[in-house]
Amino acid sequence: MSAAAINHQTDDFAAADGARLFWQSWSPEGEPAAVLAVVHGYGEHGGRYAFLVDAMASRGYAVVTFDLRGHGHSPGPRGHIRRFNDYVADTGAFLARVGRTFPGRPVLLLGHSMGGLIAAAFAEQGGEATRKIAGLVLSSPFVGVRLPVPAIQVKAARLLSRIVPTLRMTNPLRNEQLSHDPVVVAAAGADPLNHRVTTVRWAAEVLGAQRSVLSAAGSLRLPLLLLYADDDPIADPRTSEELFAGAGSADKTKVCYAGYYHEVFNEVGRAAVFDDLAAWLETRVAAART
């Protein structure tokens, strides 16, 4: 599908605390088959999913993203969060906006990296909002850390989070760990909307959320697709497998990409990922319409 055939819109919506969060949507011509509601990862923003948009819009799907608070075009201090559940609540507000914008269309929640952790936490909460979702896609979910973070730094973050929550800490993440595609790596480094700021409160909240999401995996009931990489240097693939094994979903599928890095949608072998995603979506969207 040509770029001219995709309808791109931007706007904002209100979070529960009144913050105005930036969002954008890409829709194919006519009525979309379904909507992919995307929650992006740490330090990036919703505008980094161009490959996903091109692949899915050409197959008849709308893609909608929003910038998490403290990220991209949305307000808030970079790399900081008061509590992890603020991300989860913002995702609920985002999905409500998606439902109003695309009434009657099946909506599938897709979370990448930290967005995967957020999406999993949201799905585990259950309730009416979750029942409106036709499926959950987790891409390299950040439910475990593979980055080399010293244990003393983790302990310090948990302690200092209660004393000086906005204190910054060292971040070992490098753009070269995202993808083997040099164009993707260069673009990530040049993107002014990306950041690598990390506060001790953010670290403590994310680490706590990882434990909670893994322990509550049995509460996850949505149709589930896990896409992950065995050579991911950022998110530990073993904890992704642990989450998948513990998930209470009767319908769950996992695909591991050998030799890929963290951003499977931005890898040199991304065409295979999009084919797998499209095949899974086709079946779940059909089921949602029956």
Longest dimension (CA), the chain: 54
232 is catalytic: yes
Catalytic site residue from 67, 86, 90, 232 = 232
Catalytic residue among 113, 139, 140, 179: 113
SS (H, E, C) the chain: CCHHHCEEEEEEEECCCCCEEEEEEEECCCCCCCEEEEECCCCCCHHHCHHHHHHHHCCCCEEEEECCCCCCCCCCCCCCCCCCHHHHHHHHHHHHHHHHHCCCCCEEEEEECHHHHHHHHHHHHCCHHHHCEEEEEEECCCCCECCCCCHHHHHHHHHHCCCCCCCECCCCCCHHHCCCCHHHHHHHHHCCCCCCCCEHHHHHHHHHHHHHHHHCHHHCCCCEEEEEECCCCCECHHHHHHHHHHCCCCCEEEEEECCCCCCHHHCCCHHHHHHHHHHHHHHHHHHHHC
115 contacts: CB under 8 Å, gap ≥ 6: 38, 39, 40, 41, 68, 139
How far apart are alpha carbons 151 and 156 in whole angstroms? Answer: 9
Which residues are the active-site residues? 113, 232, 262
